[in-house]
Amino acid sequence: MAGINETLEKMGLDYLDMMIIHSPQPWAKVNQCKDRYVEGNRAAWKALEDAYEAGKLKAIGISNFQIEDIASLLETAKIKPMVNQILLHISNTPMELVEYCRKNNIVVEAYSPIAHGEILNQPEITAIAKKYGVTVPQLCIKYTLQLGAVSLPKTSNPEHMKSNAELDFEIT
């Protein structure tokens, strides 16, 4: 709670639209150790719930949580996570986790939907994009949207930002 209050103070704001727990485990150890930090996550979640109820956060969520992490949190949570922000792109589609979130009414946010840009020169993906008459980033973003996710592509190029939003096609 002290961290949330300090953030609001530094930003000069009364509330934030959303705050999420970045990861169930310390980032340096993510998915590399057995400890899922269940108690720590429950305590952090309680702080988010309290801040939400106090009107300091308009939405609260999680990120990089696997099914077992969400299940542990749900055992004691008063409020269900509203969002799970996960690595989701054509080369990394954890379908079971996506379905689990859907069943629990947790919005999936797809981070790095263009695989950090590493997918741009992949011949098979380029051929599929060509078939639809779109760019690889457009194909990648549409792919995550058709999975029912909110897509979070990043670009520092205004032209890319514009074309990334032109998604008037359907992937079969």
Ligand X SMILES: NC(=O)c1ccc[n+]([C@@H]2O[C@H](COP(=O)([O-])OP(=O)(O)OC[C@H]3O[C@@H](n4cnc5c(N)ncnc54)[C@H](OP(=O)(O)O)[C@@H]3O)[C@@H](O)[C@H]2O)c1
Binding flag, residue 154, ligand X (CB under 6 A): yes
Q: Given CA atoms 36, 41, 70, 116 in this order, what sign does their dihedral have? A: negative
Which residues, listed in sequence order, are joined to residue 111 by a DSSP beta bridge?
87, 152
- The tokens 């590399």 sit on which residue? 32
Give the Cα separation of 143 and 31 in Å (integer).
25
Chain positions 48 to 87 lying near ligand X, rule: CB under 6 A, are: 63-64, 85
Examine residue 151 and tell whether it contacts ligand X (CB under 6 A).
no
- Binds ligand X by CB under 6 A, chosen from 105, 121, 157, 172: 157
x-or-dash string of contact with ligand X, 11-40, rule CB under 6 A = -----------x------------------
Q: Indicate the DSSP class of residue 92.
A: B
CB 6 → ligand X: shortest distance, Å?
21
Instruction: Provide CB contacts within 8 A for 72, sequence distance 6+.
Output: 36, 38, 41, 42
Instruction: Rule CB under 6 A: say whether 7 interacts with ligand X.
Output: no
Cα 158 from Cα 148, distance rounded (Å): 25
Nearer to ligand X, 24 or 113 (CB): 113
Residues that bind ligand X (CB under 6 A): 22, 63-64, 85, 111-117, 120, 135, 137, 152-157, 160, 163-164
